Amino acid sequence: MKHRMVAIILACTSLGAVAQVHKCINAQGKITYSNQDCPASTKEIVQVQQAQAQTNAQRRQTEQANVRRQQQQIAENQRKTAERSQMAQQATRRTSYGHSTKDINQCEKWQREEKIVRNLVKPEPGRLQRAIQMVDRYC
């Protein structure tokens, strides 16, 4: 197993031949390739194969860019998760009855009102009924 892994790694990191290749076009238009400079009577187009160091540097840059992109995606996912969590926390601030904080404040207000009205000797007509209705509505 270990030998296979070494063989796979060596195959993936094979070293390419690094050489400068010259493409020469003579007066008749014939193209020749050589590792030496072209004769003065020919047109010269120089094609340089990238050195292994340049290829490795590009590979590293690509890997670093991929890592940065993945880190940005992770950060974005974490931001979205935090946002969802915050929304869930806001939703759980509601009571088990599904009332918001505003409704809870109204509930407490009308419960106090009901208690006050019940303690009055002669409450206004309908005041107790209204307080009870509002307690039922908000609580």
Q: Which domain holds residue 69?
A: 50-92
* Closest CA relative to residue 93, chosen from 105, 81, 111, 80: 105
pLDDT at 49: 57
pLDDT at 70 (0 to 100): 95
Q: Are residue 44 and residue 69 in the same domain, yes or no?
A: no
Q: What tokens appear for 6 in the block?
A: 């070494």
Domain match, 83 and 107 both: no
Q: CB of 52 within 8 A of CB of 15?
A: yes
SS3 47: strand
User: For residue 1, is it within any domain?
Assistant: no
DSSP 15: P
Residue 105 and residue 130: Cα distance in Å, rounded? 17
**pLDDT recorded at residue 27:** 77
pLDDT along the chain (139 residues), means of 10: 66 59 79 78 58 78 94 92 81 57 79 86 83 85
Specify whether 88 is located in the same domain as 108.
no
Residues 32, 42: one domain? yes
Tracing tokens 């009055």 back to the chain, one arrives at: 120
How, if at all, do strands 31-34 and 20-25 pair? antiparallel
